Amino acid sequence: MSAPRFRIEWSSAGEELVVEEPTWDEVARVAPLLAAAYNDPHNRAMLTHDEDMTAADVVQSYTEMAEAGARQLLLYRDAVLAGDADFRSLEAGRAEFALLVAARSAQKRGLGTRFAIMAHAFGFSSLGLERSYVTMLAANLGSRRVFEKLGYTLDDSPQARRYTDDKDDLSMSVDRATFERTHAVALAEIRIRELAAIIR
């Protein structure tokens, strides 16, 4: 299937932030960097990955997720890869969101919040989402705080719990109106562009 891919741009705090749906060449190029980030012990624990991933595993994961309909995003700060994110399980205006700021040295500096705002600007407009869900380990205070800043609140509804892996995981959600109200200033600055079609 052929479909447009999207690029989201934001000049924020003196940095050029880009969130982009990658080509397959780009996925192959960044796969070793993402594998290293996924395998970092802290990131791996927070992402609940059991085993180390190779670059080939990353490409395979991107392929399987794309086949399942996920919209995967690479995150760039001043043209340098900073992490990845995705909306998955897209269905009836709902999706689950996931986010990684790759380098431990880049975490806790506001990047995750800003990239998440950009991704949600895209999800709630171009993807037509009405509500987005996240799940996380209860110990993942950084993730919880980022999503609270996005406008998410704890959500223990059956729909939200469907995305969890473990009964102790936290589940949260945000609706489009709450997100757009909370981030109106940023949304006025963020640009969403449609790029040439790729084959999915």
Ligand X SMILES: CC(C)(COP(=O)(O)OP(=O)(O)OC[C@H]1O[C@@H](n2cnc3c(N)ncnc32)[C@H](O)[C@@H]1OP(=O)(O)O)[C@@H](O)C(=O)NCCC(=O)NCCS
Q: Tell me which residues touch ligand X (CB under 6 A).
A: 43, 46-47, 99-101, 107-113, 136, 140-143, 145-146, 149
Between β-strands 153-154 and 191-199, what pairing exists: parallel, antiparallel or unpaired? unpaired
| Closest CB to ligand X among residues 108, 193 | 108
Helical spans, DSSP H, in the chain = 24-39, 41-47, 55-67, 111-123, 141-150, 158-161, 176-182, 184-189
Shortest CB 160 distance to ligand X, Å: 14
CB of 44 to ligand X, least distance (A): 9
- Rounded CA separation 183/150 (Å): 8
93 vs 110 by CB, closer to ligand X: 110
Q: Which is nearer to ligand X, 5 or 135 (CB)?
A: 135
**Six token digits for residue 173:** 């959600």
Q: Among all residues, whose Cβ is closest to ligand X?
A: 112
Q: How far is the CA of 184 from the CAs of 19, 179, 187, in angstroms?
A: 18, 8, 5
User: Nearest approach, Cβ of 139 to ligand X (angstroms)?
Assistant: 9
CA distance readout (Å), 26 to 1, 31, 47, 170: 19, 8, 23, 33
C-beta of 38 vs 124, nearer to ligand X: 38
CA separation, residue 30 to residues 13, 102, 159, 172, 191 (Å) = 25, 12, 33, 30, 24
Name which of 14 and 199 has its Cβ closer to ligand X. Answer: 14
Q: Please give the Cα distance from 32 to 7 (Å, whole number).
A: 22
- Name the minimum Å distance from CB 197 to ligand X: 30
Minimum CB separation from ligand X for residue 106, in Å? 7
